[in-house]
Chain A
Amino acid sequence: MLTDNKAVSSLRQAYGETLVELGEENKNIVVLDADLACSTQTIRFQKAYPERFFNMGIAEQDAVGTAAGLAYSGKTAFFSTFAVFASGRAWDQVRCSVAHPNLNVKIVATHGGVTVGEDGASHQALEDISLMRSLPNMKVIIPADSVETRAVIRYVARTKGPFYVRLTRPNMPEIFNAKDYDFKPEARVLVPGKDLTIATYGETVVEALKCAEMLKEKGISAEVINVPVIKPLDESTIIESVKKTGVIMTVENHSVIGGLGSAVCETLSEKLPLPVRRVGVRDEFGQSGEYSELMKKYGLVAEKFMDDALALVEIKKKQL
């Protein structure tokens, strides 16, 4: 399933290209954007099917409601803008007009997390997964690379109901092999291990894989799980892993409040109370900077969170 092709590619471009393919296959697909069609890459769909593309201007609340009306009338409505606006600016519209009536609206939000970079705190969604995860009927998926993005977009297009899909801005190394990658709404063990579990999604999957390599050199065997679907959480895969390893670390480009770390804590505290360490942005806003600098600053690179992994293994040893 994993690739060693070393290619780097854009998740947003993969999204735009997949939309165009889907638009050809399914005439019921419509796409809305809020003046960010170039950035989100919905412009590709606009060029291919202008009659089924609606630019709603800088009006995210209206855009979500309009998408809901289209979905109510039988369309599969994709809506894209930056994650911070899709989840925050239009939250009540997502709640009342989309999630409550369980409509077929697919919110594909780009520029999630600190990796937005130079635009700074106002544009860095660090709370979006928390906001979307708490809504009944809403399902939340974050792909890690362009291969997974294509598969996820196809999956949400064919699956009824509302989805929140978050894509990252920077190009990412390809992790999955396009030839045999088949998306299923579940968590997957990418690297098996026995000393600790590292659960992650999105941009930090590649860092977690790096961290596992570094830990291996220190004689520690880390199990890396990719958890693209934050909701509904694949609890059994996580529980199975933690039963084996005894401790788990979550890593995410999101606040430690309400994201994967919280979801894992909720599950384990009820079903398998064992030590958890949450790596993410610690209840603070982001700031301007190059995305790679920001990843380091907020502890989201392997070199930084390896210390957390080592600390967690120490905790386990003390408990034994």
Chain B
Amino acid sequence: MTEIKKLTNGEVEELTKLSNKLKEKCLAMIHNAKSGHPGGNLSALDLMLVLYKHIMNQCCEWDCSPEWDKRDRFVLSKGHASAALYCVLAECEYFGEDELMTFRKLGTRLQGHPGCNCAPGVEIPSGSLGQGLSMANGIALSLKLDKNPAKVFIMLGDGELQEGQVWEAAMSAAHYRLNNVIAIIDRNRLQIDGCTEDVKALEPLADKWRAFGWQVLEINGHDYGQIYGAYREAINISNEKTAPVVIIANTIKGKGVSFMEHNAGWHGKPTKQEEFIKAVEELRGKC
């Protein structure tokens, strides 16, 4: 097994600052749009941030170069975390930061759920839950046919795992030995109607993925060292084994804003003015 590189203290500090800045942007976009999904965006943001900043082989200018084909792909299956994705893409200069405030407005490229021919950097549309892994598998099969070494990262919500298609796709990835697929589960344990375990239990989740033929890693999805380490390990596994890898990232819905944390009520409602101000104050206090 290749030795796994670690983030430096300076890199962790920088990610912490950046994360709080992007969380604020995310909330501002949702507040401005008067609609969106604060909880699931805040739980997923750290995972996307580390992926784009430190892991994926990607570049905002590649679309005009022959190297574009070699980029690693990111598929956001839980499309309601679009605000977090757009913030990360703007941070990586796929498009200007000014555009973020057009989120969910008529005529925007930043559709409520990622649309097609949408914001630069968005690979495929999503929104109807459960469909991303199948599409990621299709991309992975195509990469293999073309002998392209790029990886496909795919983020799923945990509630989304109640969709049957996810398990059809989980079987397909194992059957076709898609070791170029790395799935990330945003395991915030909440969905619209309450706890995942009350609505329809997912546990034992790691065992389920193992039984479907996947290599499983489990981490704290807000610990940058753990996130980075898991991505590196997943890449090593995918280079050495023939099985797909899933990272179960234990996260907190509404992470970073005290009154949103662990609260299913913040799945899909925008902030009132005073709530928004309080949330911004909290996030700035952490920078």
Contact = CB atoms under 8 A, between A and B. Distances in A.
B127 A72 contact: no
B128 A52 contact: no
B134 to A, nearest CB: 3
B176 interface: yes
Given A30-B145, A100-B125, A101-B124, A59 B139 contact: no
Nearest to B137: A66
Contacts of A66: 134-135, 137-138, 141, 169, 172
Contacts of A73: 138-139, 142-143, 146
Contacts of B168: 56-57, 59, 61-62
Contacts of B176: 54
A239 to B, nearest CB: 33
Contacts of B140: 69
Nearest to B172: A62
Interface string A50-80: 0110101101011111111111111101000
B135 A69 contact: yes
Contacts of A68: 124, 134-135, 138
Chain B contact-residue range equals: 20 to 34
Contacts of B165: 59, 61-62, 65, 93
Contacts of A303: none
Given A61-B165, A62-B165, A65-B169, A93 B142 contact: no
A67 to B, nearest CB: 6
B271 interface: no
B172 A101 contact: no
A38 interface: no
A278 to B, nearest CB: 33
B145 A51 contact: yes
A72 B141 contact: no
B164 interface: yes
B182 to A, nearest CB: 15
B116 interface: yes
A23 to B, nearest CB: 13
B19 interface: no
A61 B163 CA distance: 11
B58 to A, nearest CB: 16
B142 A65 contact: no
Contacts of B125: 96-97, 100-101
A30 B146 CA distance: 12
A102 interface: yes
B169 A62 contact: yes
Interface string B166-195: 001101100110000000000000000000
A69 B137 contact: yes
A59 B130 CA distance: 13
A56 B136 CA distance: 14
B265 interface: no
A73 to B, nearest CB: 3
A244 B86 CA distance: 57
A74 B142 contact: yes
A93 B131 contact: yes
B120 interface: no
B171 A59 contact: yes
Nearest to B127: A96
Interface in A173-207: none
Contacts of A65: 131, 133-135, 137-138, 165, 169
Contacts of B143: 73
A51 to B, nearest CB: 7
A30 B175 CA distance: 18
Nearest to A61: B165
A24 interface: no
B254 to A, nearest CB: 27
Contacts of A266: none
A74 B138 CA distance: 11
Contacts of B135: 65-66, 68-69, 72, 97
A69 B125 CA distance: 11
Interface string A40-53: 00000000000110
Given A96-B125, A96-B127, A69 B134 contact: yes
Interface string A110-136: 000000000000000000000000000
14 contacts: A62-B134, A62-B165, A62-B169, A65-B131, A66-B169, A66-B172, A69-B135, A69-B137, A69-B141, A70-B142, A96-B127, A96-B128, A97-B134, A102-B116
Q: Which 5 A-B pairs have the closest CB atoms?
A: A69-B138, A65-B134, A73-B142, A62-B168, A101-B116
Given A69-B134, A69-B139, A102-B116, 8 more contacts: A30-B145, A59-B172, A62-B171, A65-B137, A69-B140, A72-B135, A73-B142, A100-B115
